[in-house]
Amino acid sequence: MSSSTSPQPPHPSPPPPASASAIVPGSHRRPRRGSAAGRSRATHIAPLDGLRGLAVFAVLLFHAGHLGGGFLGVDLFFVLSGFLITGLLLREAADRGRVGLVAFWGRRARRLLPALAVVGVGTLLLTWAFGSPSTLLFALEDAPWVAAQAANWHFIVEQIGYWNASGSRVFAHLWSIGVEWQFYLVWPLVVACAGRGRGGHRRVAVLAGVGALVSLALMLRLGGAVDTTRAYEGTDTRAFSLLLGALAATAPVRNLVARIPRRVADGVCAGLVCGIGAAWVLTDGQNAPGLFRGGLFVHSLAAALLIALLAQTPDGRAGRLAGSAVPRRLGELSYSLYLWHWPVYLLLPQTVLGVGGWGRTAFAIGVSLLAAWLTKVWVEDPVRFRVRWATGRRGLFAVVAAVGVAVGVWAAVPQPNPGAGTVDVGRLTAP
């Protein structure tokens, strides 16, 4: 392998799945027969897994240079995360009268950190073996920030332009994982305080709606800069996607959606799918008119409405299509697939077995899928489903050992000579 390619910047990082199944929250009050709240027990919604699969596929094509607006898939991931996480929190508040924050954060850590640690260590070793000196230097510099779940603010503070300088950084795509984690730290505290008791759903809905508007205002203010990295990667400016998803998970919105006739809802879903797909095809990177002037917000709003409708009518035509086998299985792999695909793209040579273009893309996606499947089977699932080695003292020992290995690899990989090699100028210019 070599680092001579220049794929698209690692924009969207699919936010990791909020849980093993899509959960629609229950209301704290006795639900009416036929209401959204009445159907809101632990229901797995296959179309939402499918949406995750479609979003990660759009991201893969964008990073390979084949889909100019595929980066918008990250907004769909954000909205999904906000919807699922808020649903889980509200349901717990309704069932138990409180939210177990420590338990929630523990579940998030078990779900997300093992795969991230494996991919981080693997990426460092692969970059040492196959990357250029400059790529390795950047990887060693960025790795601690990835571990601290603050890669997005590291890139912002260091003025590492997302759109024109990320092509030499194997961890550049993990900015959105940082946004996700920061949301997971703050939003559950809000729901825990506001979501309890009578009127909890309404309070959470108001806070989510107001927060989304404040976030939009910040993006409008910062999005006019020459370098839009601050607006694109800032937790505050991207929070509206997560908060719109959170808003869609509240009982006021779900009960409103429940009043829409089934046939109308299915038609609206089809229209939203077509509209979102058209945006992915027609948008041309950061230069798309209006992208930072409300375009990202409108896309997230459409995604939130689509998710709310699919949660209400998952067996409609759009739901059956989104929940079909291929997108659903891809969605189940989406977290590890996202983690692996950008380092694979960046470290592969420009031609593989003499083939570039779509042939190289197919090979890179195949390698990423294999790595994602192995990570899911060997790491994600055992930890999530608590096999023997992942629980009790064995689990604690595994955590300590994993941290030790990660730190040891980071410390052991030799620092390259900053003057060795040259930075590929093609990598530092957005296509």
The number of domains in the chain is 1
Higher-scoring residue by pLDDT: 191, 97: 191
Assign 8 a pLDDT band (cuts: 50, 70, 90). low
- Evaluate whether residue 294 is within a structural domain: yes
Q: CA-CA distance, 134 to 418, in Å (whole number)?
A: 7
Q: Could you tell me which of 22, 338, 15 has the C-alpha nearest to residue 149?
A: 15
Query: What is the distance between the alpha carbons of residues 297 and 245, in angstroms, rounded to a whole number?
Result: 12
Band of the pLDDT at 319, cuts 50, 70, 90?
very high
Query: Per-residue pLDDT tens for 25-80?
Result: 333 333 343 444 443 344 578 999 999 999 999 999 999 999 999 999 999 999 99
The model's pTM: 0.87
Q: For residue 136, what are the domain limits?
A: 37-428
- Give the pair of three-digit tokens for residue 305: 């409405």
Percent of the chain clearing pLDDT 70 (strictly above): 86
| Residue 20 and residue 88 in contact, taking contact as beta carbons nearer than 8 Å | no
Mean pLDDT of 325-350: 95
Tell me whether residue 149 is in a domain: yes
Map tokens 């992942």 to a residue: 390
In a domain, 3, yes or no: no
Distances (CA, A) of 105 to 187, 191, 293: 11, 14, 34
- CA neighbor of 149 nearest in space, from 103, 182, 124: 182
Write the single-letter amino acid at 142.
Answer: D
Is the torsion defined by CA of 381, 383, 386, 390 positive or negative?
positive
Nearest partner of 170 among 315, 5, 342, judged by Cα: 342
Q: What average pLDDT does the segment 96-119 reach?
A: 91
**Interatomic CA distance for residues 58 and 71, integer angstroms:** 7
User: Does 199 fall in a domain?
Assistant: yes
In a domain, 298, yes or no: yes
Residue 176 included in any domain: yes
pLDDT band, very low/low/confident/very high, at 7 (cuts 50, 70, 90): low
Is residue 7 in a domain? no
> Which residues, listed in sequence order, are joined to residue 352 by a DSSP beta bridge?
355
Answer yes or no: is 413 within a domain: yes
Cα distance between residue 313 and residue 261, in whole Å? 10
As a whole number, mean pLDDT of residues 292-313 equals 96
CA distances for 195 relative to 124, 202, 204, angstroms: 42, 8, 6
Q: What is the pLDDT of residue 219?
A: 96
Residue 172 has pLDDT above 90, yes or no: yes
283: pLDDT strictly greater than 90: yes
Q: What is the pLDDT of residue 419?
A: 60
